[in-house]
Amino acid sequence: MSIHVICPGCMTQFEVSDRFAGKKGPCPKCGHIIEIPKQNVTIVSPDELVVDGKKVQNPDHIRPIEQKSYSFTASAILVNLSVLTAVLAVALVFHFVHFLPLAIPVGVALVLAVAYPLMKYGYMTFRDPNDLEIFLGGQLGKKSILGAAVLLALWLVYELILYYLNPGGMALAYLVPVALFAAFVPVVIFDMDFTDALAVAVVFLLAVILLRGLMFGQENGWIWHRRDVSRPVPAAAEQPAPAAETADGQTETDDSETGDSSPAPRRAAPRRKLDSKAPDPTAGLRRR
């Protein structure tokens, strides 16, 4: 039985007898001293493979590990179109029926209904099929709900900015940092690329802006409309102050309400005519 040997000097391959196992000798070609291995090097045949301690014949026919994948089925598309149609229908109902106490919680629920499929199908559209871990089934649903809840929270923060600052046209500028923060949600949850996650965030914001405009269009529903914050004047402030009587029986009005600081002209009191029948008070003095 021969031993396969490779000379490290000239890389020549040759066979030696097993009786030289463990000994050293010169290479017959270059003279380099080589050491003959004590045991033969077993070369595994490509037709043999050991799996779980068992020798398997014809390893080419072994079934490889299948990578899970997802495809958009007709039923899934139909369900999502139905949900989208229901969301638009509810928004149109509140567009014509103005009831703010009910419209606000319904609007929050509609935003969540829009964010969930965008997170789920946005990931399925932009994901890398060569990822080591692919989220499917219940795990995908839980992560999509979590992402939708975070997007909803970011939108509520934006609504507070619109309410307190009342920016008008500047609302579009405030929308830029909100979009950047929203893009980090798919990045953190699904490990998506930032540009793909930004596309998902922009689609979400555009959908919510359209939904908000449809629901509250008659009450400054579009984000770039400025709210009317003027307060009505109380009825008591509109009534003029009562006129005050002066010592001579004349009425004096307060012009502070009208803004006129000049005093009102006073009419002269009419002269009293002396009664010829009345006694003259100076008559006694004349007699004296």
24 contacts 36 by C-beta, under 8 angstroms? yes
For residue 176, the model assigns a pLDDT of 93
Longest dimension (CA), the chain: 183
* Residue percentage of the chain with pLDDT more than 70: 64
pLDDT band at residue 51, thresholds of 50, 70 and 90?
Answer: low
Q: Specify the higher pLDDT residue, 286 or 152.
A: 152
d(CA 27, CA 188): 61
Using one digit for the tens of pLDDT, what is the confidence trace for 89-117? 988 888 888 777 888 899 899 999 999 99
**What do you get for the CA distance between the two ends of the chain, in Å?**
181
- What is the chain's alpha carbon radius of gyration, rounded to the nearest angstrom? 47
Using one digit for the tens of pLDDT, what is the confidence trace for 138-194? 888 899 999 999 999 999 999 998 888 888 888 889 999 999 999 999 999 998 889
73 class by beta-carbon count within 10 Å (0-12 exposed, 13-18 middle, 19+ buried)? exposed
224 contacts 103 by C-beta, under 8 angstroms? no
Using one digit for the tens of pLDDT, what is the confidence trace for 114-130? 999 999 888 888 877 66
Work out the average pLDDT over 192-215: 91
For residue 257, the model assigns a pLDDT of 47
pLDDT band at residue 226, thresholds of 50, 70 and 90?
Answer: confident
